[in-house]
Structure 1
Amino acid sequence: MANLSVFVPVLLLALFIKEGEPVRCWTCSSDLNPLCNDPFLAGRSDNSYLFRLENCDSNAGATYPYLTSSKSACKKMKKYINGQLIVSRGCTWKRQDDYSTSCPSASNGPNEITSFCETCEYDGCNGAATISKTIALLAAPLTLLLFK
């Protein structure tokens, strides 16, 4: 039981430590590459060369106006342009104090309707649906208790 009392606080601490490395996001658009659409299977061996993880901090300088108080994040957006559904994945920037998963406001053109937009802040999180870090870290102590 003593091992568990040390293990749980360490896991909880890991949840709140901000990683020092920049976030890397999948970057693609389904109008240019149909495999970017859902389901997004970047890890499959037959199409892994078609996608790349972009270092979002490498191009932050020219894009977001309040860089001293911003952070990079990954974004997945579904937008109808002239009636065609386009799924795009890439980088975006948010205020440092913004912990929501909503996208920063973006303007829609006359023939554009955004139906879904979500952000996340860890490597590759704008790809396929996966178990998030939080759920995995919370499940670890429960798994230990079950298999004790």
Structure 2
Amino acid sequence: MAKLSIFVPVLLVASFVAYGEAVRCWTCSSDLNPYCNDPFVPSLADTSGLFRLEYCDANTGATYPYLTTSKSACKKQKKYIAGNLVISRGCTWKRQDDYSTACAASSTGANEVTLYCETCEHDGCNGASTMGITMALIMAPLGLLLFK
């Protein structure tokens, strides 16, 4: 029991440590590839290159030019473009101190209406709904304690 009482806090602290490498995000758009739509099923993807996990690099293409540091994140966005629902997934950049899941404000054209936009910060998180890594790391030791 003493080993478990040390393991759980160490695991919790480790779950909040930031990774030093770029996050990998699904990159696709439903107007170009129907497999990018909801429900999102990566195993059904074609091999045309329109649908892939891409390494996002926080040092290139930052949408915040006034920032000296930014971090990469994944984005999933649903919008109507000229009356058609388009779901896009890809990389975006956020301020280092931004821990929200909200997307940054972006300009939209006259024929565009954004319905939903959310960001996340772990590999493949802009794909199908999954339990977050942090939640899984917290629940696993608790499950072991409860069902011992």
**Is contact 1:103–1:119 with CA below 8 Å preserved after alignment?**
yes
The aligned residue for residue 108 of structure 2 is 108
**Is contact 2:31–2:86 with CA below 8 Å preserved after alignment?**
yes
Residue type at the aligned position of 1:108: T
Distance 1:118 1:140 in 2: 26
**Is contact 1:61–1:67 with CA below 8 Å preserved after alignment?**
no
Deviation at 1:47, TM superposition (A): 2.5
Deviation at 1:14, TM superposition (A): 1.3
The ranges of structure 1 where at least 4 consecutive aligned residues each deviate by more than 4 angstroms after the TM superposition are none
The aligned residue for residue 137 of structure 1 is 137
Distance 2:146 2:109 in 1: 53
The aligned residue for residue 49 of structure 1 is 47
Q: Which stretch shifts more, 129-138 or 65-74?
A: 65-74
Structure (1/2) with the larger helix percentage: 1
- SS class of match (1:53): strand
**Is contact 2:62–2:70 with CA below 8 Å preserved after alignment?**
no
- SS class of match (1:27): strand
Gaps of 5+ in 2: none
What value does the CA root-mean-square deviation take over the aligned residues? 1.5
**Is contact 1:75–1:103 with CA below 8 Å preserved after alignment?**
yes
The aligned residue for residue 85 of structure 1 is 85
What's the CA shift string for 1:73-130, capped at 9, x where partnerless?
0000000011110000000011110000000111111010000000000110000001
- SS class of match (2:110): coil
The aligned residue for residue 95 of structure 1 is 95
Residue type at the aligned position of 2:38: D
Deviation at 1:133, TM superposition (A): 0.7
TM-score normalised by structure 1 residue count:
0.91
Percent of matched pairs sharing the same residue: 67
TM-score normalised by structure 2 residue count:
0.91
Gaps of 5+ in 1: none
